[in-house]
């Protein structure tokens, strides 16, 4: 039960914040503060200060859908910070996008600290990949000094990046800026954009990092940042980092889940991001080449760091294992060709010239399963040997009397870690393919993608859970002290069922929808008489071409959202030249440049129309005249080419369900709400939403989709 002292602390902070910012309380915001306070304040602790799971199982989770304009960030900060402090827990705020992460750390938290009377400290958490590795930079500059202006990092097998003079200048500049104290090693704080390939040479991951054994650890940017996190009360992270930390057991980078209260903003993204973390994939041809290259590099490595101990003993066993794994991969190639008919499926799942073959029901042919078991055994042995070598190298790094020069250990340790990580990834994939799913268990999606690789083709073998719910339930919801999930779009068709299925949130959690302060009647939702059934692709595209010039003849900004790039480009090319001159189309330049050009045109009194795809239906903020009209070409039904979604639909159908009504329609309804949300961004905004898809009127599911939208003024012809 929420204690009176905690209630007063929250009320006082909220009142002071409103007064300090000269703001009025918003009804939805007050409801959100109260819902979060009741949930987090009602968590029962055991004698050790942990959440008593027997008395609080599921009730420690609060799910709040809060529409645009609610002020949800301020609501959850003012409610959660006092309760986290009172219960001696860390508050971890996690977002899906960098933009919101930066807003919270640079704007919202400083304002709350300044105006609420609450005393707390906060910091931004990032993974190792955002920080420079001093060891790698040192090695790279040493190689540069001995090789001239251009050289290849031959350690990296099938990825040998060439460093030219411009790159060398960048790395020398990094070293100079670090030495002068003008840069902290954080990629995001470098004054210019660093290309991915350039950055990848000087950063690391947890497998390649020797941690506290590294001679550069006292000056390491990542470890300095990590030490600060241990002293910080409020930590701002992102979903990817949170999931990566959980995959490492929790507490590796962020505080342990048992000691944390999580606020998951943009929580509707969490299930998809979780699936990405829990999926496995490996390319057959590329892995064969990697094993070949590893064989070649192994002799050089053993010659430099072999000590007659475990590194030597394990290293001597590697060639036989590498040969066996390589031969098994070479045998897998013709099996894939035999069992995966890509020619018949070229039109299915095509993305950038690729084709997919999905194994129905996740069932892999027996011959492939048997060979996968052989690969599992080989990669299991490879991972074991590499792990022994890594542990031996760690001991040598700690030994002041090591017989192996530290410089050689430092040079090869990241490579050993890289090999180990790749062996581990292959082990997980082939173990997944070697075992049939347990009866009654949620099936895995398994598929093979035909991809272009260096001018030739390769097979990418993939597997993934079809839902992340169970993994999140066991790894996050059951372990965390408390959690708040929030977003403007958590319900679909007015229910939380979609979120429960995909994110695994417990039935007995607190589920709330708080009202937006916006007057939605200021927006008109129309389905014009000229709108046709989008099920007929060509007729629908022709209708969109005919309708747009007349619909968008008013001044100000407009946003037209398409479900496919093909239709967007076809419509663009067919429009009259005078009208096309006003259009800025996604793909012509970067998203940021398009939005800047759009705003400049509107500020100058002109008209500008943005053409965009699904990524423009969320996270684009165009208040006032920047967007007076949103045109949605068709209902945003997912294209049925995603192997995970196809496997999920197959599973639901096998259980006697209706995948279209249980997955497709709710997903489309949620995406339509997000698309319509591009129009009203402030309480004073007005405008029109036009839906050019007659199915919302003629199909039986249309009424349910329309009723899930905010109460716009409707004009359906």
308-331 pLDDT, tens digit per residue, is: 688 889 999 999 999 999 999 999
Output the pLDDT for position 157.
Answer: 41
For 552-694, where are the alpha helices, taking DSSP H only? 565-574, 577-580, 591-603, 643-654, 659, 665-676
Residue 349 pLDDT > 50: no
Average pLDDT over the chain reads: 90
Q: Pull the structure tokens for residue 436.
A: 């049939």
**pLDDT for the residue 348:** 36
pLDDT of residue 295: 92
Position 527 scores a pLDDT of 96
Question: Phi and psi at residue 271, in whole multiples of 5°?
Answer: -60, -45
Per-residue pLDDT band at 122 (split at 50, 70, 90): very high
pLDDT value of position 9:
96
The confidence score (pLDDT) of residue 161 equals 52
Would you state the pLDDT for residue 308? 65
For residue 514, give both structure tokens.
């708080």
- The CA-atom distances, in angstroms, between 119 and each of 116, 123, 456 are 9, 14, 60
Question: What are the tens digits of pLDDT across the range 20-65?
Answer: 999 999 999 999 999 999 999 999 999 898 999 888 889 999 999 9
Taking a C-beta distance cutoff of 8 angstroms, is the pair 644, 446 a contact?
no
pLDDT above 80: residue 144: no
Q: What H or E segment, with its residue span, contains residue 557?
A: strand 557-561
Q: To which H or E segment does residue 238 belong?
A: strand 234-238
* 432-465 confidence digits (pLDDT tens): 999 999 988 899 999 999 988 767 899 999 999 9
The alpha carbon of residue 403 and the mean position of all alpha carbons in its chain are separated, in whole angstroms, by 44
For 120-129, 149-158, 231-240, which range has the lowest pLDDT when averaged over its residues?
149-158
**pLDDT tens track for 188-239:** 889 998 988 889 889 988 888 888 778 788 888 888 888 878 789 999 999 9
In the chain, % of residues over pLDDT 90 = 73
Q: Structural domains in the chain?
A: 4-121+233-275+481-514 (3.40.50.300), 128-224 (no CATH), 279-465 (no CATH), 520-716 (3.40.50.300)
Give the per-residue pLDDT at 355. 87
How much is the average pLDDT of 580-602? 94
60: nearest Cα among 35, 39, 81:
39
Say what the pLDDT of residue 145 is.
66
Binned at pLDDT 50, 70 and 90, residue 549 comes out as very high
The pLDDT score that the predictor gives to residue 354 is: 55
What pLDDT, on a 0 to 100 scale, did the predictor assign at position 168?
Answer: 87
Does 158 have pLDDT greater than 50? no
| 283 has a pLDDT exceeding 60 | yes
Radius of gyration of the chain (CA): 28
Asked whether residue 156 carries a pLDDT value surpassing 50, the answer given is no
Taking residues 333-359, report their average pLDDT.
Answer: 69
């Amino acid at each position: 039960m929420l204690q009176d002292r905690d209630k007063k602390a929250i009320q006082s902070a909220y009142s002071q914040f409103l007064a300090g910012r000269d703001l009025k309380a918003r009804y939805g915001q007050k409801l959100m503060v109260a819902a979060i306070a009741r949930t987090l304040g009602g968590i029962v602790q055991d004698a050790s200060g942990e959440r008593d799971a027997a008395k609080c199982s599921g009730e420690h989770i609060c799910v709040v859908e809060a529409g645009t304009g609610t002020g949800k960030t301020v609501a959850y900060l003012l409610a959660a910070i006092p309760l986290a402090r009172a219960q001696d827990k860390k508050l971890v705020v996690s977002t899906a996008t960098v933009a919101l992460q930066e807003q919270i750390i640079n704007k919202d938290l400083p304002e709350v600290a300044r105006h609420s009377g609450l005393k707390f400290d906060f910091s931004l958490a990032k993974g190792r990949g955002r920080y420079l590795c001093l060891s790698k930079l040192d090695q790279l500059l040493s190689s540069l000094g001995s090789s001239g202006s251009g050289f290849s990092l031959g350690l990296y097998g099938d990825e040998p990046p060439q460093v030219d003079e411009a790159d060398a200048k960048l790395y020398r500049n990094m070293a100079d800026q670090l030495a002068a104290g003008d840069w902290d090693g954080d990629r995001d704080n470098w004054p210019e954009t660093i290309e991915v390939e350039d950055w990848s040479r000087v950063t690391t991951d947890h497998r390649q990092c020797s941690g506290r054994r590294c001679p550069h650890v006292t000056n390491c940017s990542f470890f300095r940042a990590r030490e600060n996190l241990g002293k910080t009360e409020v930590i701002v992270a992102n979903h990817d980092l949170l999931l990566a930390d959980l995959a490492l057991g929790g507490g590796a980078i962020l505080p342990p889940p048992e000691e944390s209260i999580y606020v998951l903003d943009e929580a509707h993204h969490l299930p998809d991001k979780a699936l990405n973390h829990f999926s496995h994939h490996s390319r057959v041809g590329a892995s064969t080449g990697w094993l070949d290259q590893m064989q070649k590099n192994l002799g050089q490595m053993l010659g430099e760091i072999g000590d007659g101990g475990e590194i030597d003993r394990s290293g001597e066993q590697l060639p036989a294992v590498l040969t066996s794994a390589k031969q098994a991969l070479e045998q897998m190639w013709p099996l894939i060709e035999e069992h995966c008919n890509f020619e018949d499926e070229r039109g299915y799942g095509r993305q950038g010239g690729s084709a997919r073959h999905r194994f129905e029901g996740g069932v892999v042919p027996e011959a492939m399963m048997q060979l996968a078991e052989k690969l599992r055994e080989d990669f299991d042995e490879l991972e074991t040997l590499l792990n022994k070598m890594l542990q031996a190298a760690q001991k040598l790094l700690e030994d002041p009397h090591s017989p192996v020069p530290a410089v050689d250990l430092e040079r090869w340790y990241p490579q050993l870690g890289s090999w180990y990580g790749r062996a581990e990834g292959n082990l997980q994939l082939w173990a997944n393919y070697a075992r049939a799913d347990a009866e009654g268990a949620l099936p895995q999606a398994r598929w093979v993608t035909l991809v272009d690789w260096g001018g030739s083709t390769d097979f990418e073998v993939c597997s993934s859970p079809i839902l992340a719910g169970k993994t999140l339930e066991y790894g996050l919801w059951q372990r965390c002290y408390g959690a708040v999930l929030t977003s403007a779009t958590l319900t679909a068709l007015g229910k939380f069922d979609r979120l429960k299925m995909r994110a695994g949130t417990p039935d007995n959690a607190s589920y709330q929808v708080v009202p937006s302060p916006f007057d939605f009647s200021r927006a008109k939702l129309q389905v014009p008489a000229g709108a046709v059934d989008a099920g007929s692709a060509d007729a629908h595209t022709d209708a969109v071409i005919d309708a747009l010039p007349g619909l968008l003849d008013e001044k100000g900004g407009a946003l037209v959202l398409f479900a496919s790039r093909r239709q967007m480009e076809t419509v663009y090319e067919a429009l009259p030249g005078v009208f096309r001159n006003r259009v800025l189309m996604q793909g012509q330049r970067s998203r940021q440049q398009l939005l800047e050009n759009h705003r400049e045109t509107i500020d100058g009194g002109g008209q500008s129309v943005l053409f965009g795809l699904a990524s423009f239906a969320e996270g684009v903020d165009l208040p006032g005249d920047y967007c007076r009209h949103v045109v949605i070409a068709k209902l945003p039904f997912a294209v049925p080419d995603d192997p995970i979604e196809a496997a999920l639909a197959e599973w639901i159908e096998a259980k006697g369900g209706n995948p279209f009504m249980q997955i497709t329609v709710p997903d489309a309804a949620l995406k339509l709400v997000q698309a319509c949300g591009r129009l009203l961004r402030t309480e004073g905004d007005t405008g029109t939403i036009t839906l050019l898809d007659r199915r919302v009127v003629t199909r039986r599911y249309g009424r349910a989709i329309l009723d899930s939208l905010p109460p716009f003024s409707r004009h359906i012809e």
